[in-house]
Structure 1
Amino acid sequence: MQQNNGIDKKQMISFAVLCLVLFGFMFYFQNKQAKEEQLKAEQQKTEQVKNPVKQTQASNINPNVTPGSIQTASLSNKELNVEFSSLGGQVSKVQLSEYKAYDHKTDQADLPLYLINKNNSNYGFQFKDKTGKVVNTKDLVFAPAVNGNVVTLTADYNGAVIQFIYTLLPKYTLDFKVRTQGLSKITSDNKADFIWDYSVRNLEKGRAQEQSHSEFSYAFNNYKDYDYDGRTTMEEEKETLNWIGVKQQFFTSVIEAKNGFTQSKGNQESIEEGEYLKKLNYEGFVQMTGSELNQDFTWYFMPLDLKLLKSYDKNFDEILPLGWSFIGWMNRGFFMPMYNLIADWGLTAGWVIFLMTIIVKLILSPIMYKQHKLSAMMKVIRPEIDEVNAKLKDADPMKKQQATMEVYRKAGVNQMAGCLPALVQIPIFYALFRFFPNFIDLRGQGFWFAKDLTAYDDLIKLPFKVPFLGDHLSIFALACTIVILIYTVMTSGNMQQPQQEGMPNMKVLMYIFPITFLFFLNTSASGLSWYYFVSNAINILIILVIKYVILDEKKIHAQIQANKEKPKTEGKFQKRMREMMEKAQDQQKAQEQQRNKKK
């Protein structure tokens, strides 16, 4: 029996050296990247002098209207710059002036951030005139007039006057009123079809991640209920939608109808490469009164900031995908407030995540202690388990399993207790999986060589694409994979090998897991990889401290011997397991007897 002689110096030194190597590796690439960026900036300045930017002409989006005949009008405040086109009376450009978009050419977030630009959004109201001809306002030419923070666009269609009145308000809000006069002389319809086609612009570094977060969002039942659709055809023909929006990773475009949209449906398709991520098409009806279209709407072009979204009191906060039920509660009520509290101390985002990890580990430390105590107990009784397996080497596998469980029961070892830490950490893992790529306060926050903790770091470029990995290697993901592998090696020592042929070797599976984790983390938010690197490094330290300082194997052995002397009461779970095994054994015997009779 090994005696507790304090911390194993060799293991502590090895772990310290590993950490120094990993941190040195990170700092080396950070300095290398800084030099490359400086050289790239100088080259870019030279190219700008040689090749000044040329003005591009608007494309002819309507064969009946020349580019020169299209007029525009603009409104601006500190949050939004909005442009309107006389063709269709639509919002033709929306810039969020306080944010920047990622530029793939410079690898920097230095571009103006446009939610709408270059005709990626197209909407209008469609109805039939009395001859059966389909009329859509997006095809009409409006005359714009600006008065303060109001733009009025007026069109004439066969004597009917159609007005779109836009008023720019604070809090990323654009009021939108539709007024008609004389439309009842042209149409007999009692409802108009609102059609909105929207192509999601690529604004972030991680294309696949941003694409997966782009989807329809909508509220109904007087703003009380919320739903979304990111992959399938949208159909809400029975509900009246209060608002419909297209959500991106950190921003959203939403239109609210004061009297609601009915018979809503939509579809979407992914775009594999280029400037856009997804194409979404929406269609819903709005009511007409006396064949006149007089309805009030509101556009919102918003960042997905939880505090801002809640302030509208329209269920917009559900757009932020922080997870359902308990997962969402953890993010809203625990991780976000914790991050904001630590960030108020003036620390950079990476060190805020570092301290968050330590706090979470301190909270989970009692559970980890129980897990490692169980591991130590299993190590102590390993000779008895091996002895049972040797005695029953040729016996029925079911009988061997029953004998093994009996050893555990007498020693007072509950194998199921080892599942508790894993079960507790699953919701935490999923909450953080939702937290890091969607928390806008982390957007654009760099740490070491990661320029944005909500996207992957790609300092190591690959000359080709690897399936499921991409064309880069994330250093944070690599470092995280290494410490997970070390942690796996340290914790798999007490794992039993399969006793039956054809059963998987759990040790091998555990070693494969960290490698598969690399494929998952390589294109995920680097903040998530950094968190799990720190988390698993702390796990390793905790194991060493618990194993060599806190736990004493002699005391554990004495406790097990004392447990054997005590009368045992069979727990409900143990009883159920025993009964199931006995039943299975009886069925196996019955099958063997039937086979013997047939012979």
Structure 2
Amino acid sequence: MQQNNGIDKSQMISFAVLCLVLFGFMFYFQNKQSKEEQLKAQQQKTEQVKNAVKQTQVSNINPNVTPGAIQTATLANKELNVEFSSLGGQVSKVQLSKYKAYNHKTDKADLPLYLIDKKNSNYGFQFKDKTGKVINTKDLVFSPVINGSIATLTANYNGAVIQFIYTLNNNPNAELKDQYALDFKVRTKGLAAVTADNKADFIWDYNVRNLEKGRAQEQSHSEFSYAFNNYKDYDYDGRTEMNEEKETLNWIGVKQQFFSSVIEAKNGFTQSKGSQETIEEGEYLKKLNFEGFVQMTGSELNQDFTWYFMPLDLPLLKSYDKNFDEILPLGWSFIGWMNRGFFMPMYNIIAGWGITAGWVIFLMTIIVKLILSPIMYKQHKLSAMMKVIRPEIDEVNVKLKDADPMKKQQATMEIYRKAGVNQMAGCLPALVQIPIFYALFRFFPNFIDLRGKGFWFAKDLTAYDDLIKLPFKVPFLGDHLSVFALACTIVILIYTVMTSGNMQQPQQEGMPNMKVLMYIFPITFLFFLNTSASGLSWYYFVSNAINILIILVIKYWILDEKKIHAQIQANKEKPKSEGKFQKRMREMMEKAQEQQKVQEQQRKKK
């Protein structure tokens, strides 16, 4: 019987040539990209921010208000440029000055980054007057006044005065966390003569703007996030509805892939509920609606809030001490710990050496491989042992060709037991890889330090590269082919060929061919990686290329099949103590055989 003994030296040379071609291809596009970035830097212009009240023309949002009557007022500091509208006294525009949004027309991140713009956010406090009429502050016209870092917007309703007071810290020496916070106080006078309500309904409608290249990826990362139980507990909802009517929410936010808009209520929101709807195409990704009640004292609404418009940068989020760091979806429990305590610090340390992001990931991959090398060595040693005893297994399969499949399986397990081969040890590397893969799946598309960092032909390592554009859309693949994803798929296929040669096929009828499944897996991986962060594809390209090199080194320079064969023969002479797992498997097989015999006897009687 012909066996697959892995890759010979000629195949090894072919693999090296393939790697050289891929690396040459990548270096070519790295040079091309650096020239484009220089051109982009020359074209960027600084935007001047004015702290003044100005007139603006808007569409007729409220039929009772003429467009010319709407005013806007602006506050700004180093990080935020915030505009307020006299209609509703709301925040009508928020720009994060140090960040850029992706431009689909130029395929570059060269647009001003607005979390709020073009009326995609709309909020107000709703209550009933004594006649039962519903009043919402978003429909009232406020008069804006700027005084230094404070914007005061005042409205009158049937003799009642409603003030929204916004304060933005514009001290250039202020802490970073204070520069992303907008203090928001609501003060009323005479409202008790208008309403008898003891609480107001805060309603916030928000359309998530498309700011990143990968629409599907950014859309999946856009959701509600909120804290309760005095900031101790956190939850999120990325589905359709949220319902927290029993909890008092300390803050509610709309999370995007790298940024978040959050409102904190000092006395909390009660009876909170929300809904969200996916928007398939266009400028927006999702439509979210939130509703929660805030307390009124003596029918007057005097409450303190804080708006936060911030990048999802872990040190910044932790500095608030309000459980904001949970907004960053780095994974639960051990997975999150790996990202926070291992991958992020490792990236920052290596990046501190002054090398580009792609090579940082390259070095991270090597470090992870070195840590896992003892486990990989055991796996490849097991593979070599399986290869040595394969003739004995083939002999048993021929001898028991017409025997019961269960009996053949028992005979095979007996060979493994005598040779001292533990099949379960081969599962350990796969089990270790699962949490690492999931941690990196969370790490690459959510680590803001990688946002906008290009490498070779990937313009942003947190999004896919689309060097190869297709003239049509392929289901589950899209309208492009990611070169990093293709390269990763190729090396996974090569690795699969090298490691599947000694795989034992199941003897029972109807069981799937494991080799076929192993070859299908890399192909399905292409569909997954094609729209994922290119940093993830690059990591796994390097990881699997290193795996191949390790196999070749172990095969030709470390493991000696003659010594392994001698060790197996020595193991056979030693008395064997049956392990718990082996004993359990043997007992299960014996029980299955007994049941099979009983069933055969019953069939014969019939």
- Normalising by the residue count of structure 2, what TM-score does the alignment of the two structures yield? 0.94
1:348-387 CA-partner distances (Å, limit 9, x unpaired) = 0000000000000000000000000000000000000001
Q: Distance in 2 between matches of 1:475 and 1:269?
A: 33
Q: Does the 8 A contact of 1:4 with 1:553 survive in 2?
A: no
Quick one: structure 1 residues 2 and 593, their matched pair in 2 at CA, closer, same or farther if it must change by over 3 Å? closer
Q: Does the 8 A contact of 1:4 with 1:552 survive in 2?
A: no
Quick one: structure 1 residues 52 and 490, their matched pair in 2 at CA, closer, same or farther if it must change by over 3 Å? farther
Q: Does the 8 A contact of 1:7 with 1:549 survive in 2?
A: no
CA positional deviation for 1:8: 5.8
Q: Distance in 1 between matches of 2:71 and 2:206?
A: 22
Q: Distance in 2 between matches of 1:35 and 1:429?
A: 34
Quick one: structure 1 residues 173 and 45, their matched pair in 2 at CA, closer, same or farther if it must change by over 3 Å? closer
CA positional deviation for 1:13: 1.7
Quick one: structure 1 residues 57 and 273, their matched pair in 2 at CA, closer, same or farther if it must change by over 3 Å? farther
Q: Distance in 2 between matches of 1:208 and 1:112?
A: 21
Q: Does the 8 A contact of 1:77 with 1:170 survive in 2?
A: no
Q: Does the 8 A contact of 2:3 with 2:501 survive in 1?
A: no
**Structure 2 residue aligned with 1:508:** 516
Q: Distance in 1 between matches of 2:518 and 2:427?
A: 15
Of the structure 1 ranges 579-588 and 337-346, higher mean CA displacement relative to structure 2 is found in 579-588
CA positional deviation for 1:498: 3.1
Quick one: structure 1 residues 287 and 206, their matched pair in 2 at CA, closer, same or farther if it must change by over 3 Å? same
1:318-355 CA-partner distances (Å, limit 9, x unpaired) = 00000000000000000000000000000000000000
CA positional deviation for 1:61: 1.4
Q: Distance in 1 between matches of 2:600 and 2:496?
A: 41
CA positional deviation for 1:491: 0.5
Q: Does the 8 A contact of 2:52 with 2:73 survive in 1?
A: no
CA positional deviation for 1:66: 1.7
Q: Does the 8 A contact of 1:217 with 1:247 survive in 2?
A: yes
Q: Does the 8 A contact of 2:227 with 2:249 survive in 1?
A: yes
User: Residues 48-447 of structure 1: matches in 2 within 5 Å?
Assistant: 58-167=58-167, 170-447=178-455
CA positional deviation for 1:14: 1.8
- 1:27 and 2:35 are equivalent in the alignment: no
CA positional deviation for 1:43: 13
Quick one: structure 1 residues 163 and 53, their matched pair in 2 at CA, closer, same or farther if it must change by over 3 Å? closer
Quick one: structure 1 residues 195 and 46, their matched pair in 2 at CA, closer, same or farther if it must change by over 3 Å? closer
CA positional deviation for 1:598: 4.7
Quick one: structure 1 residues 54 and 229, their matched pair in 2 at CA, closer, same or farther if it must change by over 3 Å? same
Q: Distance in 2 between matches of 1:54 and 1:490?
A: 69
1:14-50 CA-partner distances (Å, limit 9, x unpaired) = 2211101222333455567789999999999999999
Q: Distance in 2 between matches of 1:336 and 1:44?
A: 30
Q: What is the identity percentage for the equivalent residue pairs of Structure 1 and Structure 2?
A: 92
**Structure 2 residue aligned with 1:17:** 17
Quick one: structure 1 residues 150 and 110, their matched pair in 2 at CA, closer, same or farther if it must change by over 3 Å? same
Q: Does the 8 A contact of 1:26 with 1:475 survive in 2?
A: no
Q: Distance in 1 between matches of 2:54 and 2:459?
A: 30
Q: Does the 8 A contact of 1:207 with 1:277 survive in 2?
A: yes
Q: Secondary structure at the match of 1:429?
A: helix
- 1:495 and 2:485 are equivalent in the alignment: no
CA positional deviation for 1:67: 1.4
Quick one: structure 1 residues 299 and 592, their matched pair in 2 at CA, closer, same or farther if it must change by over 3 Å? same
**Structure 1 residue aligned with 2:605:** 598
Q: Secondary structure at the match of 2:119?
A: coil
Q: Does the 8 A contact of 2:196 with 2:299 survive in 1?
A: yes
Decide which of 547, 559, 563 is 1:551's aligned counterpart: 559
CA positional deviation for 1:594: 1.3
Quick one: structure 1 residues 287 and 550, their matched pair in 2 at CA, closer, same or farther if it must change by over 3 Å? same
CA positional deviation for 1:547: 1.0
Q: Does the 8 A contact of 2:53 with 2:71 survive in 1?
A: no
Q: Distance in 1 between matches of 2:348 and 2:468?
A: 32
Q: Distance in 2 between matches of 1:518 and 1:129?
A: 60
Quick one: structure 1 residues 100 and 38, their matched pair in 2 at CA, closer, same or farther if it must change by over 3 Å? closer
1:160-197 CA-partner distances (Å, limit 9, x unpaired) = 00000000993300000000001011111110000000
Q: Distance in 2 between matches of 1:53 and 1:594?
A: 93
Q: Does the 8 A contact of 1:214 with 1:249 survive in 2?
A: yes
1:128-149 CA-partner distances (Å, limit 9, x unpaired) = 1111000000000000010000
1:64-103 CA-partner distances (Å, limit 9, x unpaired) = 1121110110000000000000000000000000100000
Q: Secondary structure at the match of 1:48?
A: coil
Q: Does the 8 A contact of 1:4 with 1:549 survive in 2?
A: no
CA positional deviation for 1:497: 2.4
CA positional deviation for 1:582: 0.8
CA positional deviation for 1:3: 17
Q: Distance in 2 between matches of 1:140 and 1:51?
A: 23
Quick one: structure 1 residues 130 and 404, their matched pair in 2 at CA, closer, same or farther if it must change by over 3 Å? same
Of the structure 1 ranges 470-479 and 59-68, higher mean CA displacement relative to structure 2 is found in 59-68
Q: Does the 8 A contact of 2:274 with 2:291 survive in 1?
A: yes
Q: Does the 8 A contact of 1:321 with 1:434 survive in 2?
A: yes
Decide which of 476, 482, 485 is 1:474's aligned counterpart: 482
CA positional deviation for 1:540: 0.4
Q: Secondary structure at the match of 1:246?
A: strand
Q: Does the 8 A contact of 1:7 with 1:548 survive in 2?
A: no
Quick one: structure 1 residues 315 and 58, their matched pair in 2 at CA, closer, same or farther if it must change by over 3 Å? same
1:189-211 CA-partner distances (Å, limit 9, x unpaired) = 11000000000000000000000
Q: Does the 8 A contact of 2:77 with 2:179 survive in 1?
A: no
Q: Does the 8 A contact of 2:199 with 2:296 survive in 1?
A: yes
Q: Does the 8 A contact of 2:50 with 2:74 survive in 1?
A: no
Q: Does the 8 A contact of 2:53 with 2:146 survive in 1?
A: no
CA positional deviation for 1:63: 1.4
CA positional deviation for 1:502: 1.9
**Cα RMSD, aligned residues only:** 3.9
Q: Distance in 2 between matches of 1:68 and 1:225?
A: 46
- Normalising by the residue count of structure 1, what TM-score does the alignment of the two structures yield? 0.95
Q: Does the 8 A contact of 2:78 with 2:179 survive in 1?
A: no
Q: Does the 8 A contact of 1:33 with 1:459 survive in 2?
A: no
Q: Distance in 2 between matches of 1:221 and 1:32?
A: 52
Of the structure 1 ranges 262-271 and 167-176, higher mean CA displacement relative to structure 2 is found in 167-176
Quick one: structure 1 residues 349 and 56, their matched pair in 2 at CA, closer, same or farther if it must change by over 3 Å? farther
Q: Does the 8 A contact of 1:93 with 1:116 survive in 2?
A: yes
CA positional deviation for 1:9: 4.0
CA positional deviation for 1:593: 1.2
Q: Distance in 1 between matches of 2:125 and 2:583?
A: 68
Q: Secondary structure at the match of 1:50?
A: coil
1:387-416 CA-partner distances (Å, limit 9, x unpaired) = 111111111111111111001001000000
Q: Secondary structure at the match of 1:27?
A: helix
Q: Distance in 1 between matches of 2:161 and 2:47?
A: 51
CA positional deviation for 1:546: 0.8
Q: Does the 8 A contact of 1:8 with 1:548 survive in 2?
A: no
1:389-444 CA-partner distances (Å, limit 9, x unpaired) = 11111111111111110010010000000000000010000000000000000000
Q: Distance in 2 between matches of 1:86 and 1:415?
A: 72
Q: Does the 8 A contact of 2:53 with 2:73 survive in 1?
A: no
Q: Does the 8 A contact of 1:3 with 1:554 survive in 2?
A: no
CA positional deviation for 1:588: 1.1
Q: Distance in 2 between matches of 1:142 and 1:349?
A: 48
Gaps of 5+ in 1: none
Q: Distance in 2 between matches of 1:76 and 1:43?
A: 24
Of the structure 1 ranges 131-140 and 61-70, higher mean CA displacement relative to structure 2 is found in 61-70
Q: Does the 8 A contact of 1:79 with 1:170 survive in 2?
A: no
Quick one: structure 1 residues 468 and 173, their matched pair in 2 at CA, closer, same or farther if it must change by over 3 Å? same
Gaps of 5+ in 2: 168-175
Q: Secondary structure at the match of 1:441?
A: helix
CA positional deviation for 1:592: 1.3
CA positional deviation for 1:306: 0.3
Q: Distance in 2 between matches of 1:462 and 1:35?
A: 25
